[in-house]
Amino acid sequence: MSTPYHHGSLRDALVDAATQVVTETGSESLSLRALARRAGVSSGAPYRHFTDRDAVLCAVATNGFRRFDAALANTDEQSATLPPVERVEQLGVAYVRFAAEEPNLFRLMFGPLAPRVGVDAELDEVRRRAGAHLPRALTRAQAAGFGTDSSLEELVELAWALVHGVAALHLDGLAGSSDVAGAEQLARRVTGQLGRLMRSDK
Amino acid sequence: MSTPYHHGSLRDALVDAATQVVTETGSESLSLRALARRAGVSSGAPYRHFTDRDAVLCAVATNGFRRFDAALANTDEQSATLPPVERVEQLGVAYVRFAAEEPNLFRLMFGPLAPRVGVDAELDEVRRRAGAHLPRALTRAQAAGFGTDSSLEELVELAWALVHGVAALHLDGLAGSSDVAGAEQLARRVTGQLGRLMRSDK
DNA sequence: CGTTCAATGTAAGCGCCGCTTACACGAGTA
DNA sequence: TACTCGTGTAAGCGGCGCTTACATTGAACG
């Protein structure tokens, strides 16, 4: 009676705990049994709410993309008064900053064991939303006459490869400094080059 | 007597088998027990040659960097007669091509569970060698007067972020097409932009 | 040539894991 | 009140990384 037979909100508790574990120690070390123990529940209980371990990781990744989307949207709002090319740069910096601040989450979201497209509709949706910011900002910039030497598609490719590349470089420990500030400075320099390229097309 | 008590070259056999497994199905699915079975040996035998599972992955990654270095060196040789900026582009394409052709190996080499720097001297050495190609090509280009608007360090950062980014984009399934040819074309377009930037600095 | 010994194999076992199956509980409903 | 269905438990399967104690060997050495 001290603890009721039914947990009440086991699913949420599991997702929260899983998010914490992934954030702190990476998705590799996530164990459903440990999650169940932490929630004070038997080792079979999680399987009432998730088909398997990957489904839990999928839920964590979905949370991650939600936060990612929010971070980018917030940055875009903050920079509403800036020139369009500068807004692109800001967005790129925010992209890298998120990766640097939440490396384990970012790796889960984009890494190899990331839940593949088409498995989870909600994940697909939030991922799509998060991925729309950069193309939108680039469209605005082109509409203002910047970066028109290339097609929008090429520009998106270039910008995405750049920012994702800086994030990956940092996450893989190949960048000079390994702290968040270093990643941000690197992002600023690289996106600055992109901005320079776009402005020269005016 | 059909099979001798001592394998004779177990270490090599394990590394070869491990390389194959990682290449085909990714490093996550590598099991020392399965490796031992494949080599016709008991499950404890591998521990005579490797301290733990990570040490095996380390050996596989070392092999990977050797092949990576060879691929880049070969590309650099092939393009010896080309203009320096074009050689940079070729190198970038080769970088991406390797990642696209050996995604699982590439992920092990650069990914999160990649054996960290300082653990294995041989790995550090071969990784350093492989990483020297791009800076060298960029140095040559700058010596010829290209891309001199930026410092060498900045140029290296930019180029590395670009090619590593394209590779990561492709590996993470974010690029348009997911086959090797698509990755190569994407790499060509992106490195082309880099070349354009450098040539404009002449 | 015989001994010795370090390297390299085996066998067995520990605690962990993901996942499944059969059963127990209990809140909402007819 | 009785039933049912969602959600929990208990127990177990096979696989894993890794360790310990013991077996076998080839090669070095007196």
Q: Is the predicted pLDDT of residue B110 greater than 70, yes or no? A: yes
CATH 1.10.600.10 fits A1-50, yes or no: no
Q: Report the candidate in B171, B46, B138, B187 with the shortest Cα–Cα distance to residue A172.
A: B171
A-chain residues near B176 (CB < 8 A): 157
A161 close to B169: Cβ distance less than 8 angstroms = yes
Question: With the C-alpha atoms ordered B102, B154, A136, B191, is the resulting torsion angle positive or negative?
Answer: negative
Q: Is the predicted pLDDT of residue A3 greater than 70, yes or no? A: no
Which residues does nucleic strand C approach, with CB less than 7 A? A 4-6, 30-34, 43-44, 47, 51-54; B 5-8, 10, 36, 40-45, 48-49
Contact between chains at B166 and A161 (C-beta distance less than 8 A): yes
Mean pLDDT, rounded, for B114-124: 83
Mean pLDDT, rounded, for A60-67: 97
Contact between chains at B154 and A189 (C-beta distance less than 8 A): yes
Q: What is the pLDDT of residue B5?
A: 55
B135, containing H or E segment: helix B133-143
Q: How many degrees, rounded to 5, is the angle at CA A8 between CA A5 and CA A11?
A: 115
Total residue count of chain A as it appears in this document: 202
B201 in helix, strand or coil? Answer: coil
pLDDT digits (tens, 9 = 90+) for A150-168: 999 989 988 998 999 899 9
Q: What is the pLDDT of residue A119?
A: 84
The beta-carbon neighbor of B169 closest among A26, A161, A193 is: A161
Greatest CA separation for chain A: 72
A-chain residues near B131 (CB < 8 A): 174
Question: How far is it, in rounded angstroms, from Cα A57 to Cα A30?
Answer: 9
Q: Which residue has the tokens 């001199």?
A: B148
Mean pLDDT, rounded, for A49-75: 97
A33: nt with nearest C1' to CA: C17
Q: Report the candidate in A169, A67, A61, A131 with the shortest Cα–Cα distance to residue B158.
A: A169
Mean pLDDT, rounded, for B75-96: 98
pLDDT digits (tens, 9 = 90+) for A71-98: 999 999 999 999 999 999 999 999 999 9
Distance A24 CA to D8 C1' (A): 29
- Structure tokens given for B183: 């990755």
Classify domain B60-199 at the CATH topology level.
Answer: Tetracycline Repressor; domain 2 (1.10.357)
Where exactly does CATH 1.10.10.60 map onto chain A? 1-50
Output the average pLDDT for chain A: 93
Packing angle of the helix pair B133-143, B84-101 (nearest 10 deg): 160
pLDDT digits (tens, 9 = 90+) for B36-73: 999 999 999 999 999 999 999 999 999 999 999 999 99
Where exactly does CATH 1.10.357.10 map onto chain B? 60-199
A1 in helix, strand or coil? Answer: coil
Q: Is the predicted pLDDT of residue B114 greater than 90, yes or no? A: no
Question: How far is it, in rounded angstroms, from Cα B27 to Cα A112?
Answer: 10
A86, containing H or E segment: helix A84-101
